[in-house]
């Protein structure tokens, strides 16, 4: 089901200064409709991957829409292929994502352990070895991190990645 | 790189420091967020046999 993705192209790249975020890469691909994949490269080679249908570019819910094309498997696999491509070119890369809750005209799914998170976390287990990446998740936030184990002090590195995630994603649910 | 080559190494895993039950809590400023470390054995259980061919 998740065996085949679409061919993707790098269409743009924007650098940012004075921030944890260094560069944003824009990939596109065409499935049953056109998609944009945003890859944000943060310090320490941490890549955050996001995608949305191009037609929803200006929508505030572009990450939350359900398009009902019955093409999710190939679309998601294309994003995984982009992650594998990035890993090939950056062997020290770590990855992260937050699975968006679905929002339709009539319903809004909870952020907690949402449908996309359940699918994506299964795919992370399927495609990314635990020998190379430490798999770390937050079900409350539907967030997932693949921390590259190449770092000598992985505990310190993991903590710095988590702190960076908290810094850059202020909507994360916190403990009190 | 073919899909799944990411699984194709013999790198020895480094351990991640954990608190009890695999919970990693990170504090930044006044925010405290907890993540859960998924152990290799748990991942092995989750991984679907359909994708075993990816792991050489």
Sheet-wide strand order for A21-30: A8-15, A21-30, A34-42, A46-53, A94-98, A143-148, A133-138, B31-38, B23-28
Res. B9: pLDDT tops 80: no
**Residue B32 falls within a domain, yes or no?**
yes
Calpha distance A44→A64 (Å, rounded): 28
ipTM computed for the complex: 0.86
pLDDT at position B7 is 52
Beta strand A143-148 pairing with A8-15: unpaired
CA-nearest residue of chain B to A126? B47
Calpha distance A117→A97 (Å, rounded): 9
Q: Do residue A134 and residue B39 have CB atoms under 8 angstroms apart?
A: no
Asked if B28 and A167 count as a contact pair (C-beta separation under 8 A), the reply is yes
Locus of tokens 């498997």: A73
B15 CB-contact burial (10 Å; exposed 0-12 / middle 13-18 / buried 19+): exposed
Give per-residue pLDDT as tens, A19-53.
Answer: 899 999 999 999 999 999 999 999 999 999 999 99
pLDDT at position B29 is 80
pTM reported for the whole predicted model:
0.87
A contact test, residue of B8, B15, B21, B33 with most A CBs within 10 A: B33
pLDDT band at residue A96, thresholds of 50, 70 and 90? Answer: very high
Report chain B's mean pLDDT, rounded to a whole number. Answer: 66
pLDDT at position B6 is 52
Give per-residue pLDDT as tens, A11-21.
Answer: 999 998 878 99
**Residue B4 falls within a domain, yes or no?**
no
Domain limits for position B29: 15-54
Res. B5: pLDDT tops 80: no
CA distance from start to end of chain A:
41
Q: Where are the domains of chain A?
A: 8-168
Q: Do residue A145 and residue B4 have CB atoms under 8 angstroms apart?
A: no
Three-state DSSP class for A72? helix
**Residue B9 falls within a domain, yes or no?**
no
**Residue B3 falls within a domain, yes or no?**
no
The domain total for chain B is: 1
Q: Do residue B12 and residue A126 have CB atoms under 8 angstroms apart?
A: no
- Summarize the confidence of residues B2-27 as an average pLDDT: 58
């Amino acid at each position: 089901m998740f065996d085949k993705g679409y061919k993707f192209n790098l269409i743009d790249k924007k650098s940012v200064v004075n921030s944890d975020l260094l560069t944003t890469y824009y990939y596109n691909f065409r499935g049953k409709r056109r998609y944009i994949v945003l890859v944000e490269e943060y310090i320490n080679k941490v890549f955050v991957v996001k995608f949305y249908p191009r037609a929803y570019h200006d929508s505030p819910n572009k990450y939350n829409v359900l398009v009902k094309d019955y093409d999710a498997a190939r679309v998601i696999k294309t994003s995984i292929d982009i992650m594998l491509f990035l890993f090939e070119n950056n062997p020290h890369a770590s990855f992260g994502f937050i699975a968006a809750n679905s929002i339709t005209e009539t319903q809004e799914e909870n952020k907690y352990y949402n449908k996309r998170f359940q699918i994506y976390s299964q795919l992370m287990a399927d495609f990314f070895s635990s020998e190379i990446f430490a798999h770390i998740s937050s079900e409350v936030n539907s967030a997932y991190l693949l921390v590259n184990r190449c770092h000598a002090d992985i505990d310190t590195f993991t903590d710095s990645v988590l702190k960076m995630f908290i810094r850059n994603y202020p909507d994360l649910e916190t403990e009190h | 790189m073919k899909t799944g080559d990411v699984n194709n190494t013999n790198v020895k895993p480094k351990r991640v420091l954990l608190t009890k039950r695999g919970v990693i809590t990170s504090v930044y400023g006044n925010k405290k967020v907890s993540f859960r470390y998924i152990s290799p054995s748990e991942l092995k259980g989750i991984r679907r046999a359909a994708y075993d061919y990816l792991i050489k």
